[in-house]
Amino acid sequence: MRKNYQFPLTRYFQLMRMSIIVLVFVMSLLLVPAQAQSTKNAPVAIDGRLVFRVSNTERLSAPERANFISSQLQAIVKSQEAPDIKIERRNESPIIFINGRYLLTVTQTDTVAASNPEEQAGMWAEDIRNAIQKAQNERSTQFIRNTSILSVVIVLMAVGINRVLGILWQLTQYRVSQLLVSADSSGDNQIQNTSRLLFKATLLLARIALWVGVALYITNLFPVTRQWSYNIASSIIASLTSPIFSLGQKAYSLTDILILVVLLFGLIIFTGTTTNLLRSRILGRMRISRGAQEAIAIIFKYALISFGTVVLLQIWGLDLSSLTIVASALGVGIGFGFQDIAKNFGSGLVLLFERPIQVGDFIEVGEYMGTVEYIGARSVVIRTLDRVSIIVPNSRFLETEVINWSHRNPVSRIHLPVGVAYTSDVNLVKSALIEAAIGHPEVLKLPQPQVFFLGFGDSAINFELLVWIDKPHQQAPIMSDIYFLIEASFRKHNIEIPFPQRDLNMRTVDLPIKLSSELEQALLRLTQGMNGKGRSHETESRRGNP
Protein backbone atom coordinates (compact mmCIF):
# COMPACT_ATOMS: atom_id res chain seq x y z
CA MET A 1 0.00 0.00 0.00
CA ARG A 2 2.93 2.32 0.69
CA LYS A 3 4.35 1.81 -2.81
CA ASN A 4 1.06 2.87 -4.37
CA TYR A 5 1.35 6.15 -2.49
CA GLN A 6 5.00 6.80 -3.26
CA PHE A 7 4.88 6.17 -6.98
CA PRO A 8 2.71 9.23 -7.70
CA LEU A 9 5.05 11.25 -5.47
CA THR A 10 8.09 10.61 -7.66
CA ARG A 11 6.07 11.20 -10.77
CA TYR A 12 4.82 14.45 -9.23
CA PHE A 13 8.41 15.76 -9.09
CA GLN A 14 8.94 14.86 -12.74
CA LEU A 15 5.72 16.59 -13.78
CA MET A 16 6.70 19.65 -11.73
CA ARG A 17 10.06 19.87 -13.49
CA MET A 18 8.37 19.51 -16.88
CA SER A 19 5.86 22.25 -15.99
CA ILE A 20 8.64 24.64 -14.96
CA ILE A 21 10.48 24.02 -18.23
CA VAL A 22 7.35 24.64 -20.31
CA LEU A 23 6.57 27.80 -18.32
CA VAL A 24 10.07 29.19 -18.82
CA PHE A 25 9.91 28.43 -22.53
CA VAL A 26 6.53 30.16 -22.96
CA MET A 27 7.62 33.21 -20.94
CA SER A 28 10.80 33.46 -23.01
CA LEU A 29 8.85 33.44 -26.24
CA LEU A 30 6.38 36.00 -24.89
CA LEU A 31 9.21 38.31 -23.89
CA VAL A 32 10.39 38.81 -27.46
CA PRO A 33 7.39 40.80 -28.71
CA ALA A 34 7.42 42.81 -25.47
CA GLN A 35 10.97 43.89 -26.18
CA ALA A 36 10.07 44.77 -29.76
CA GLN A 37 7.17 46.96 -28.63
CA SER A 38 9.23 48.79 -26.01
CA THR A 39 11.26 50.52 -28.74
CA LYS A 40 8.13 52.07 -30.39
CA ASN A 41 6.87 54.07 -27.38
CA ALA A 42 8.16 55.41 -24.07
CA PRO A 43 6.43 55.85 -20.69
CA VAL A 44 5.59 59.18 -19.06
CA ALA A 45 5.74 58.81 -15.27
CA ILE A 46 5.28 60.96 -12.15
CA ASP A 47 7.19 59.76 -9.09
CA GLY A 48 7.73 56.45 -10.83
CA ARG A 49 4.02 55.92 -11.49
CA LEU A 50 3.03 55.45 -15.14
CA VAL A 51 0.65 58.07 -16.55
CA PHE A 52 0.60 57.27 -20.28
CA ARG A 53 2.89 56.41 -23.19
CA VAL A 54 3.97 58.55 -26.11
CA SER A 55 5.25 57.47 -29.52
CA ASN A 56 7.87 58.78 -31.96
CA THR A 57 7.41 61.93 -34.01
CA GLU A 58 9.23 63.31 -37.03
CA ARG A 59 11.52 65.48 -34.90
CA LEU A 60 11.80 63.64 -31.59
CA SER A 61 12.02 60.03 -30.52
CA ALA A 62 9.66 58.51 -27.97
CA PRO A 63 12.22 58.52 -25.08
CA GLU A 64 13.08 62.17 -25.71
CA ARG A 65 9.41 63.22 -25.65
CA ALA A 66 8.76 61.13 -22.52
CA ASN A 67 11.71 62.63 -20.62
CA PHE A 68 10.63 66.20 -21.45
CA ILE A 69 7.00 65.63 -20.39
CA SER A 70 7.98 63.80 -17.20
CA SER A 71 10.37 66.59 -16.14
CA GLN A 72 7.66 69.22 -16.68
CA LEU A 73 5.10 67.27 -14.63
CA GLN A 74 7.61 66.52 -11.89
CA ALA A 75 8.44 70.22 -11.52
CA ILE A 76 4.76 71.10 -11.05
CA VAL A 77 4.39 68.37 -8.39
CA LYS A 78 7.35 69.72 -6.38
CA SER A 79 6.10 73.30 -6.64
CA GLN A 80 2.73 72.25 -5.13
CA GLU A 81 0.93 74.35 -7.78
CA ALA A 82 -2.60 73.45 -8.77
CA PRO A 83 -2.57 72.03 -12.31
CA ASP A 84 -4.29 74.26 -14.90
CA ILE A 85 -4.54 72.09 -18.03
CA LYS A 86 -5.74 73.47 -21.37
CA ILE A 87 -6.02 71.94 -24.84
CA GLU A 88 -5.56 74.10 -27.92
CA ARG A 89 -5.65 73.13 -31.57
CA ARG A 90 -2.77 74.41 -33.67
CA ASN A 91 -1.59 73.22 -37.08
CA GLU A 92 -4.48 70.72 -37.10
CA SER A 93 -3.11 68.97 -33.96
CA PRO A 94 -4.24 69.25 -30.32
CA ILE A 95 -1.62 70.72 -27.98
CA ILE A 96 -1.74 70.31 -24.18
CA PHE A 97 -0.64 73.30 -22.04
CA ILE A 98 -0.21 73.12 -18.27
CA ASN A 99 -0.05 76.30 -16.18
CA GLY A 100 0.55 78.26 -19.33
CA ARG A 101 3.55 76.18 -20.47
CA TYR A 102 3.76 73.88 -23.44
CA LEU A 103 3.60 70.17 -22.53
CA LEU A 104 3.10 68.07 -25.67
CA THR A 105 1.44 67.76 -29.05
CA VAL A 106 -0.83 64.76 -29.51
CA THR A 107 -0.28 63.10 -32.88
CA GLN A 108 -2.15 60.41 -34.75
CA THR A 109 0.45 57.81 -33.69
CA ASP A 110 -0.30 58.58 -30.03
CA THR A 111 -3.92 57.45 -30.28
CA VAL A 112 -4.21 54.16 -28.46
CA ALA A 113 -7.45 54.20 -26.47
CA ALA A 114 -9.21 56.85 -28.64
CA SER A 115 -10.25 57.18 -32.26
CA ASN A 116 -8.59 60.56 -32.95
CA PRO A 117 -5.96 62.84 -31.37
CA GLU A 118 -8.59 65.20 -29.84
CA GLU A 119 -10.18 62.44 -27.79
CA GLN A 120 -6.78 61.15 -26.80
CA ALA A 121 -5.70 64.64 -25.65
CA GLY A 122 -8.81 64.91 -23.45
CA MET A 123 -8.14 61.55 -21.85
CA TRP A 124 -4.49 62.40 -21.20
CA ALA A 125 -5.39 65.76 -19.69
CA GLU A 126 -7.62 64.02 -17.14
CA ASP A 127 -4.93 61.43 -16.38
CA ILE A 128 -2.35 64.18 -15.85
CA ARG A 129 -4.63 66.10 -13.46
CA ASN A 130 -5.34 63.00 -11.34
CA ALA A 131 -1.69 61.94 -11.27
CA ILE A 132 -0.47 65.39 -10.15
CA GLN A 133 -3.08 65.66 -7.39
CA LYS A 134 -2.23 62.18 -6.12
CA ALA A 135 1.52 62.89 -6.15
CA GLN A 136 1.03 66.17 -4.23
CA ASN A 137 -1.13 64.45 -1.61
CA GLU A 138 1.55 61.81 -1.07
CA ARG A 139 4.03 64.49 -0.01
CA SER A 140 2.00 65.46 3.09
CA THR A 141 3.34 64.77 6.60
CA GLN A 142 0.40 62.61 7.61
CA PHE A 143 0.78 60.38 4.56
CA ILE A 144 4.51 59.87 5.19
CA ARG A 145 3.92 59.02 8.89
CA ASN A 146 1.19 56.48 8.15
CA THR A 147 3.22 54.96 5.32
CA SER A 148 6.31 54.60 7.56
CA ILE A 149 4.29 52.73 10.20
CA LEU A 150 2.84 50.49 7.51
CA SER A 151 6.33 49.79 6.16
CA VAL A 152 7.61 48.70 9.58
CA VAL A 153 4.64 46.38 10.00
CA ILE A 154 5.22 44.87 6.55
CA VAL A 155 8.93 44.22 7.29
CA LEU A 156 8.10 42.50 10.59
CA MET A 157 5.48 40.36 8.87
CA ALA A 158 8.00 39.48 6.16
CA VAL A 159 10.54 38.34 8.80
CA GLY A 160 7.92 36.07 10.35
CA ILE A 161 6.85 34.68 6.98
CA ASN A 162 10.51 34.05 6.10
CA ARG A 163 10.98 31.90 9.23
CA VAL A 164 7.70 30.09 8.69
CA LEU A 165 8.71 29.27 5.12
CA GLY A 166 11.96 27.71 6.35
CA ILE A 167 10.15 25.57 8.95
CA LEU A 168 7.48 24.42 6.49
CA TRP A 169 10.03 23.57 3.81
CA GLN A 170 12.17 21.66 6.32
CA LEU A 171 9.26 19.61 7.63
CA THR A 172 8.00 18.86 4.13
CA GLN A 173 11.46 17.89 2.92
CA TYR A 174 11.96 15.56 5.89
CA ARG A 175 8.62 13.87 5.28
CA VAL A 176 9.24 13.44 1.57
CA SER A 177 12.80 12.16 2.21
CA GLN A 178 11.44 9.51 4.58
CA LEU A 179 8.94 8.38 1.96
CA LEU A 180 11.58 8.24 -0.76
CA VAL A 181 14.05 6.34 1.43
CA SER A 182 11.43 3.69 2.23
CA ALA A 183 10.43 3.49 -1.43
CA ASP A 184 13.91 3.35 -2.94
CA SER A 185 15.14 -0.17 -2.25
CA SER A 186 17.76 -0.13 -5.01
CA GLY A 187 20.09 2.22 -3.17
CA ASP A 188 20.03 4.82 -5.95
CA ASN A 189 19.85 8.30 -4.43
CA GLN A 190 19.11 10.14 -7.67
CA ILE A 191 15.44 10.80 -6.83
CA GLN A 192 16.33 11.80 -3.26
CA ASN A 193 19.06 14.18 -4.40
CA THR A 194 16.75 15.66 -7.01
CA SER A 195 13.99 16.23 -4.46
CA ARG A 196 16.46 17.76 -1.99
CA LEU A 197 17.82 20.11 -4.64
CA LEU A 198 14.29 20.98 -5.74
CA PHE A 199 13.26 21.86 -2.18
CA LYS A 200 16.33 24.07 -1.67
CA ALA A 201 15.77 25.83 -4.98
CA THR A 202 12.07 26.43 -4.34
CA LEU A 203 12.78 27.69 -0.80
CA LEU A 204 15.40 30.09 -2.12
CA LEU A 205 13.08 31.30 -4.87
CA ALA A 206 10.21 31.72 -2.40
CA ARG A 207 12.33 33.81 -0.04
CA ILE A 208 13.75 35.91 -2.86
CA ALA A 209 10.25 36.51 -4.21
CA LEU A 210 9.06 37.45 -0.71
CA TRP A 211 11.73 40.08 -0.07
CA VAL A 212 11.68 41.43 -3.61
CA GLY A 213 7.93 41.84 -3.34
CA VAL A 214 8.26 43.56 0.04
CA ALA A 215 10.98 45.89 -1.26
CA LEU A 216 8.98 46.81 -4.34
CA TYR A 217 5.82 47.37 -2.33
CA ILE A 218 7.52 49.59 0.26
CA THR A 219 9.43 51.64 -2.32
CA ASN A 220 6.20 52.20 -4.23
CA LEU A 221 4.57 53.62 -1.10
CA PHE A 222 6.92 56.62 -0.97
CA PRO A 223 7.14 59.02 -3.92
CA VAL A 224 10.89 59.60 -3.63
CA THR A 225 11.87 55.94 -3.46
CA ARG A 226 9.33 55.14 -6.12
CA GLN A 227 11.14 57.44 -8.49
CA TRP A 228 14.50 55.85 -7.62
CA SER A 229 13.19 52.34 -8.09
CA TYR A 230 11.58 53.37 -11.36
CA ASN A 231 14.85 54.87 -12.63
CA ILE A 232 16.87 51.83 -11.56
CA ALA A 233 14.38 49.45 -13.18
CA SER A 234 14.41 51.52 -16.37
CA SER A 235 18.21 51.48 -16.48
CA ILE A 236 18.34 47.73 -15.94
CA ILE A 237 15.74 47.11 -18.64
CA ALA A 238 17.59 49.40 -21.04
CA SER A 239 20.90 47.64 -20.38
CA LEU A 240 19.32 44.23 -20.79
CA THR A 241 17.57 45.08 -24.04
CA SER A 242 20.41 47.01 -25.68
CA PRO A 243 22.34 45.02 -28.32
CA ILE A 244 25.83 44.07 -27.20
CA PHE A 245 27.04 42.17 -30.27
CA SER A 246 25.93 41.16 -33.74
CA LEU A 247 26.15 37.74 -35.33
CA GLY A 248 25.29 37.62 -38.97
CA GLN A 249 22.39 39.95 -39.75
CA LYS A 250 20.94 40.03 -36.24
CA ALA A 251 21.98 41.88 -33.07
CA TYR A 252 21.68 40.22 -29.68
CA SER A 253 21.23 41.74 -26.24
CA LEU A 254 22.06 40.41 -22.80
CA THR A 255 18.44 39.38 -22.34
CA ASP A 256 18.57 37.32 -25.51
CA ILE A 257 21.68 35.55 -24.26
CA LEU A 258 20.19 34.88 -20.82
CA ILE A 259 16.97 33.55 -22.31
CA LEU A 260 18.92 31.32 -24.67
CA VAL A 261 20.99 29.99 -21.75
CA VAL A 262 17.83 29.30 -19.75
CA LEU A 263 16.31 27.47 -22.70
CA LEU A 264 19.42 25.35 -23.15
CA PHE A 265 19.46 24.59 -19.43
CA GLY A 266 15.79 23.66 -19.64
CA LEU A 267 16.61 21.42 -22.60
CA ILE A 268 19.19 19.59 -20.51
CA ILE A 269 16.72 19.11 -17.64
CA PHE A 270 14.03 17.99 -20.08
CA THR A 271 16.45 15.54 -21.68
CA GLY A 272 17.49 14.10 -18.32
CA THR A 273 13.87 13.68 -17.23
CA THR A 274 12.89 12.08 -20.53
CA THR A 275 15.89 9.74 -20.38
CA ASN A 276 14.97 8.66 -16.83
CA LEU A 277 11.40 7.99 -17.93
CA LEU A 278 12.69 5.98 -20.90
CA ARG A 279 15.01 3.99 -18.66
CA SER A 280 12.46 3.27 -15.92
CA ARG A 281 9.17 3.01 -17.82
CA ILE A 282 10.16 1.46 -21.17
CA LEU A 283 13.62 -0.07 -21.05
CA GLY A 284 13.11 -1.39 -17.54
CA ARG A 285 10.20 -3.53 -18.74
CA MET A 286 12.02 -4.91 -21.76
CA ARG A 287 13.92 -8.16 -21.49
CA ILE A 288 17.33 -6.73 -22.22
CA SER A 289 20.43 -6.51 -20.07
CA ARG A 290 21.19 -3.56 -17.86
CA GLY A 291 24.21 -2.65 -19.98
CA ALA A 292 22.08 -2.49 -23.15
CA GLN A 293 19.55 -0.30 -21.31
CA GLU A 294 22.25 2.16 -20.28
CA ALA A 295 23.74 2.23 -23.77
CA ILE A 296 20.37 3.01 -25.36
CA ALA A 297 19.58 5.63 -22.71
CA ILE A 298 22.92 7.44 -23.12
CA ILE A 299 22.73 7.45 -26.92
CA PHE A 300 19.16 8.78 -26.74
CA LYS A 301 20.20 11.47 -24.24
CA TYR A 302 23.06 12.91 -26.30
CA ALA A 303 21.12 12.65 -29.55
CA LEU A 304 18.20 14.55 -28.01
CA ILE A 305 20.51 17.24 -26.63
CA SER A 306 22.21 17.71 -30.01
CA PHE A 307 18.96 17.81 -31.98
CA GLY A 308 17.24 20.06 -29.43
CA THR A 309 20.15 22.52 -29.41
CA VAL A 310 20.03 22.88 -33.18
CA VAL A 311 16.25 23.36 -33.13
CA LEU A 312 16.40 25.98 -30.34
CA LEU A 313 19.10 27.97 -32.10
CA GLN A 314 17.12 28.01 -35.35
CA ILE A 315 13.84 28.92 -33.63
CA TRP A 316 15.59 31.74 -31.80
CA GLY A 317 16.74 33.17 -35.11
CA LEU A 318 20.42 32.26 -34.97
CA ASP A 319 21.93 31.61 -38.38
CA LEU A 320 23.98 28.45 -37.95
CA SER A 321 26.00 29.23 -41.07
CA SER A 322 27.49 32.19 -39.20
CA LEU A 323 29.01 29.78 -36.67
CA THR A 324 31.34 28.26 -39.25
CA ILE A 325 34.33 30.32 -38.10
CA VAL A 326 33.56 29.56 -34.45
CA ALA A 327 33.32 25.84 -35.23
CA SER A 328 36.66 25.97 -37.06
CA ALA A 329 38.32 27.69 -34.11
CA LEU A 330 36.74 25.17 -31.76
CA GLY A 331 38.14 22.35 -33.89
CA VAL A 332 41.62 23.81 -33.63
CA GLY A 333 41.19 24.20 -29.87
CA ILE A 334 40.11 20.59 -29.55
CA GLY A 335 43.11 19.50 -31.59
CA PHE A 336 45.58 21.25 -29.28
CA GLY A 337 44.08 21.98 -25.89
CA PHE A 338 41.25 19.45 -25.56
CA GLN A 339 42.79 16.40 -27.17
CA ASP A 340 42.47 14.33 -23.99
CA ILE A 341 38.80 15.24 -23.65
CA ALA A 342 38.20 14.47 -27.32
CA LYS A 343 40.05 11.17 -26.97
CA ASN A 344 37.97 10.15 -23.96
CA PHE A 345 34.78 11.22 -25.70
CA GLY A 346 35.65 9.13 -28.78
CA SER A 347 36.56 6.20 -26.54
CA GLY A 348 33.19 6.57 -24.82
CA LEU A 349 31.41 6.24 -28.16
CA VAL A 350 33.42 3.10 -28.93
CA LEU A 351 32.51 1.65 -25.54
CA LEU A 352 28.82 2.37 -26.13
CA PHE A 353 28.66 0.83 -29.59
CA GLU A 354 31.20 -1.98 -29.26
CA ARG A 355 30.15 -2.73 -25.67
CA PRO A 356 33.25 -4.53 -24.33
CA ILE A 357 32.03 -3.50 -20.88
CA GLN A 358 28.48 -2.81 -19.76
CA VAL A 359 26.81 -1.41 -16.70
CA GLY A 360 26.67 -4.15 -14.07
CA ASP A 361 29.79 -6.00 -15.29
CA PHE A 362 32.44 -7.00 -12.78
CA ILE A 363 35.76 -5.92 -14.28
CA GLU A 364 39.41 -5.53 -13.39
CA VAL A 365 41.41 -2.71 -14.98
CA GLY A 366 44.91 -2.16 -13.67
CA GLU A 367 44.84 -2.24 -9.88
CA TYR A 368 41.10 -1.56 -9.70
CA MET A 369 38.45 -4.27 -9.44
CA GLY A 370 34.75 -3.61 -9.11
CA THR A 371 31.32 -3.30 -10.72
CA VAL A 372 30.63 -0.85 -13.54
CA GLU A 373 28.04 1.62 -12.28
CA TYR A 374 27.94 4.22 -15.07
CA ILE A 375 29.40 4.70 -18.56
CA GLY A 376 29.55 8.38 -19.48
CA ALA A 377 30.87 10.43 -22.36
CA ARG A 378 34.23 11.00 -20.65
CA SER A 379 34.67 8.42 -17.91
CA VAL A 380 33.43 5.17 -16.38
CA VAL A 381 32.44 4.89 -12.72
CA ILE A 382 33.52 1.64 -11.01
CA ARG A 383 32.24 0.67 -7.56
CA THR A 384 34.93 -1.41 -5.84
CA LEU A 385 34.42 -4.18 -3.30
CA ASP A 386 35.15 -1.59 -0.60
CA ARG A 387 32.13 0.42 -1.86
CA VAL A 388 34.42 3.17 -3.17
CA SER A 389 33.66 4.84 -6.52
CA ILE A 390 36.63 4.97 -8.90
CA ILE A 391 36.35 7.27 -11.95
CA VAL A 392 38.43 5.88 -14.82
CA PRO A 393 38.87 7.75 -18.16
CA ASN A 394 37.32 5.98 -21.14
CA SER A 395 40.56 5.91 -23.12
CA ARG A 396 42.16 3.62 -20.55
CA PHE A 397 39.76 0.82 -21.42
CA LEU A 398 41.01 0.88 -25.02
CA GLU A 399 44.70 1.32 -24.23
CA THR A 400 45.21 -1.34 -21.56
CA GLU A 401 44.02 -4.88 -20.93
CA VAL A 402 40.70 -5.16 -19.15
CA ILE A 403 39.51 -8.32 -17.39
CA ASN A 404 35.74 -8.56 -17.68
CA TRP A 405 34.49 -11.34 -15.44
CA SER A 406 30.91 -10.82 -16.65
CA HIS A 407 31.48 -10.54 -20.40
CA ARG A 408 28.70 -12.44 -22.19
CA ASN A 409 28.70 -15.12 -19.47
CA PRO A 410 29.17 -14.31 -15.76
CA VAL A 411 30.26 -17.89 -14.95
CA SER A 412 33.92 -17.91 -13.89
CA ARG A 413 36.36 -20.22 -12.10
CA ILE A 414 38.29 -19.43 -8.96
CA HIS A 415 41.47 -21.19 -7.74
CA LEU A 416 42.07 -22.19 -4.12
CA PRO A 417 45.60 -23.58 -3.40
CA VAL A 418 45.88 -25.98 -0.42
CA GLY A 419 48.84 -27.83 1.12
CA VAL A 420 48.69 -30.99 3.33
CA ALA A 421 51.23 -32.99 5.28
CA TYR A 422 53.29 -35.74 3.62
CA THR A 423 51.62 -38.36 5.81
CA SER A 424 48.16 -37.56 4.33
CA ASP A 425 46.22 -39.86 1.99
CA VAL A 426 45.98 -37.99 -1.31
CA ASN A 427 42.68 -39.65 -2.29
CA LEU A 428 41.17 -38.70 1.05
CA VAL A 429 42.41 -35.15 0.55
CA LYS A 430 40.73 -35.00 -2.86
CA SER A 431 37.43 -36.26 -1.42
CA ALA A 432 37.61 -33.76 1.45
CA LEU A 433 38.20 -30.85 -0.93
CA ILE A 434 35.30 -31.90 -3.19
CA GLU A 435 33.08 -32.27 -0.13
CA ALA A 436 33.95 -28.76 1.04
CA ALA A 437 33.30 -27.27 -2.41
CA ILE A 438 29.92 -28.95 -2.82
CA GLY A 439 28.89 -27.75 0.63
CA HIS A 440 28.89 -24.07 -0.44
CA PRO A 441 25.57 -22.88 -1.94
CA GLU A 442 27.21 -20.43 -4.40
CA VAL A 443 29.38 -23.09 -6.04
CA LEU A 444 27.84 -24.35 -9.27
CA LYS A 445 27.12 -28.04 -9.70
CA LEU A 446 27.97 -27.79 -13.40
CA PRO A 447 30.81 -27.53 -14.24
CA GLN A 448 31.78 -29.76 -11.35
CA PRO A 449 34.52 -28.80 -8.87
CA GLN A 450 37.97 -30.21 -9.67
CA VAL A 451 41.08 -31.00 -7.63
CA PHE A 452 44.55 -30.84 -9.22
CA PHE A 453 47.68 -32.44 -7.77
CA LEU A 454 50.29 -29.68 -8.25
CA GLY A 455 53.35 -31.50 -6.86
CA PHE A 456 55.60 -32.00 -3.86
CA GLY A 457 56.66 -28.90 -1.99
CA ASP A 458 59.36 -28.35 0.61
CA SER A 459 57.05 -29.00 3.53
CA ALA A 460 53.72 -30.09 2.02
CA ILE A 461 51.93 -31.86 -0.80
CA ASN A 462 50.32 -29.10 -2.90
CA PHE A 463 46.78 -29.34 -4.29
CA GLU A 464 44.52 -26.79 -6.02
CA LEU A 465 40.73 -26.74 -5.76
CA LEU A 466 38.89 -25.21 -8.74
CA VAL A 467 35.23 -24.23 -8.43
CA TRP A 468 32.82 -22.37 -10.70
CA ILE A 469 30.62 -19.48 -9.62
CA ASP A 470 28.18 -17.14 -11.41
CA LYS A 471 28.69 -14.15 -9.10
CA PRO A 472 32.20 -12.85 -9.85
CA HIS A 473 31.72 -9.75 -7.71
CA GLN A 474 31.53 -12.06 -4.65
CA GLN A 475 34.83 -13.83 -5.22
CA ALA A 476 36.43 -12.77 -1.96
CA PRO A 477 33.60 -13.82 0.41
CA ILE A 478 33.04 -17.10 -1.49
CA MET A 479 36.74 -18.01 -1.28
CA SER A 480 36.76 -17.21 2.43
CA ASP A 481 33.70 -19.41 3.05
CA ILE A 482 35.19 -22.31 1.09
CA TYR A 483 38.44 -22.12 3.08
CA PHE A 484 36.40 -22.33 6.28
CA LEU A 485 34.67 -25.43 4.89
CA ILE A 486 38.03 -26.95 3.87
CA GLU A 487 39.44 -26.49 7.36
CA ALA A 488 36.36 -28.13 8.89
CA SER A 489 36.53 -31.03 6.41
CA PHE A 490 40.24 -31.61 7.14
CA ARG A 491 39.53 -31.75 10.86
CA LYS A 492 36.74 -34.21 10.19
CA HIS A 493 39.03 -36.56 8.22
CA ASN A 494 42.13 -35.97 10.41
CA ILE A 495 44.11 -34.40 7.57
CA GLU A 496 47.05 -32.38 8.79
CA ILE A 497 48.07 -28.98 7.43
CA PRO A 498 51.88 -28.65 7.78
CA PHE A 499 53.99 -25.66 8.54
CA PRO A 500 57.44 -24.79 7.11
CA GLN A 501 60.38 -26.74 8.74
CA ARG A 502 64.13 -26.11 8.85
CA ASP A 503 66.88 -28.56 10.05
CA LEU A 504 70.00 -27.27 11.82
CA ASN A 505 73.13 -29.48 11.61
CA MET A 506 76.21 -28.84 13.79
CA ARG A 507 79.58 -30.58 13.56
CA THR A 508 82.80 -30.44 15.57
CA VAL A 509 86.03 -28.95 14.22
CA ASP A 510 89.63 -28.94 15.42
CA LEU A 511 90.40 -25.74 17.18
CA PRO A 512 93.65 -24.05 16.25
CA ILE A 513 94.53 -23.45 19.92
CA LYS A 514 95.33 -25.98 22.55
CA LEU A 515 92.67 -26.40 25.22
CA SER A 516 92.82 -28.01 28.55
CA SER A 517 91.60 -31.57 28.85
CA GLU A 518 88.72 -30.55 31.12
CA LEU A 519 87.49 -27.83 28.76
CA GLU A 520 87.78 -30.11 25.75
CA GLN A 521 85.71 -32.82 27.44
CA ALA A 522 82.99 -30.27 28.37
CA LEU A 523 82.71 -28.99 24.81
CA LEU A 524 82.42 -32.55 23.45
CA ARG A 525 79.63 -33.38 25.89
CA LEU A 526 77.79 -30.15 24.98
CA THR A 527 78.07 -30.89 21.24
CA GLN A 528 76.84 -34.45 21.63
CA GLY A 529 73.88 -33.28 23.70
CA MET A 530 72.80 -30.69 21.09
CA ASN A 531 73.03 -33.26 18.26
CA GLY A 532 70.90 -35.69 20.23
CA LYS A 533 68.19 -33.08 20.86
CA GLY A 534 68.16 -32.08 17.17
CA ARG A 535 67.62 -35.67 16.02
CA SER A 536 64.87 -36.18 18.61
CA HIS A 537 63.10 -32.97 17.49
CA GLU A 538 63.34 -34.00 13.82
CA THR A 539 61.79 -37.40 14.59
CA GLU A 540 58.91 -35.82 16.49
CA SER A 541 58.28 -33.34 13.67
CA ARG A 542 58.01 -36.11 11.11
CA ARG A 543 55.46 -37.83 13.36
CA GLY A 544 53.36 -34.68 13.29
CA ASN A 545 54.03 -33.52 16.85
CA PRO A 546 55.28 -29.91 16.75
How many other C-beta atoms are found inside a 10 Å radius of the C-beta of residue 239? 12
**133: β partners:** none
Query: Is the pLDDT higher at 172 or at 477?
Result: 477
Question: Could you tell me the CA-to-CA distances from 185 to 131, 181, 463 in Å, in that order?
Answer: 65, 8, 43
Decide if pLDDT at 327 tops 90: no
Q: Give the confidence band of 541 by pLDDT, cuts at 50, 70, 90.
A: very low
Give the distance between the most distant pair of CA atoms in the chain: 155
**417: β partners:** 464
Q: Give the model confidence (pLDDT) of 175-187 as tens digits.
A: 766 665 554 444 4
Instruction: Please give the pLDDT value at position 31.
Output: 43
Instruction: Please give the pLDDT value at position 308.
Output: 87
Span of 318-327, 419-428, 455-464 with lowest mean pLDDT: 318-327
Average the pLDDT over 292-320 and give the result: 79
Average the pLDDT over 248-261 and give the result: 76
Q: Percent of the chain, pLDDT > 70? A: 74
Q: Which long-range contacts (CB under 8 A, 24 or more apart) does 25-29 make?
A: 25/263, 25/266, 28/259, 28/262, 28/263
Highest mean pLDDT among 120-124, 310-314, 484-488, 532-536: 484-488
Decide if pLDDT at 484 tops 90: yes
Rounded distance, CA 266 to CA 289, Å? Answer: 31
Span of 345-354, 446-455, 521-530 with lowest mean pLDDT: 521-530
At 516, which amino acid appears?
S
Rounded distance, CA 53 to CA 436, Å? Answer: 94
Rounded distance, CA 490 to CA 421, Å? Answer: 11
Rounded distance, CA 300 to CA 289, Å? Answer: 17
Decide if pLDDT at 41 tops 70: yes
Highest mean pLDDT among 142-146, 336-340, 460-464: 460-464
Mapped onto helix, strand or coil, the DSSP state of residue 373 is strand
Rounded distance, CA 73 to CA 50, Å? Answer: 12
Highest mean pLDDT among 30-34, 109-113, 245-249, 523-527: 109-113
Helix (H) or strand (E) holding 304: helix 290-315
For residue 447, cis peptide bond before it (omega within 30 degrees of 0): yes
Decide if pLDDT at 13 tops 60: no
Highest mean pLDDT among 40-44, 201-205, 457-461: 457-461
Decide if pLDDT at 188 tops 60: no
Average model confidence (pLDDT) across the chain: 77
Instruction: Please give the pLDDT value at position 45.
Output: 84
Instruction: Please give the pLDDT value at position 491.
Output: 92
Instruction: Please give the pLDDT value at position 410.
Output: 82
Average the pLDDT over 305-321 and give the result: 78
Decide if pLDDT at 5 tops 50: no
Decide if pLDDT at 272 tops 60: yes
Query: If you count DSSP H runs as helices and E runs as strands, how many of each does the chain have, helices first?
Result: 14, 15
Q: Give the model confidence (pLDDT) of 80-116 as tens digits.
A: 888 888 888 887 888 888 888 888 888 888 887 667 8
Please report the beta strands in 2-84, taking only residues with DSSP state E, as ranges in sequence order: 41-46, 49-55
Decide if pLDDT at 326 tops 50: yes
Decide if pLDDT at 215 tops 50: yes
Q: Give the confidence band of 360 by pLDDT, cuts at 50, 70, 90.
A: confident
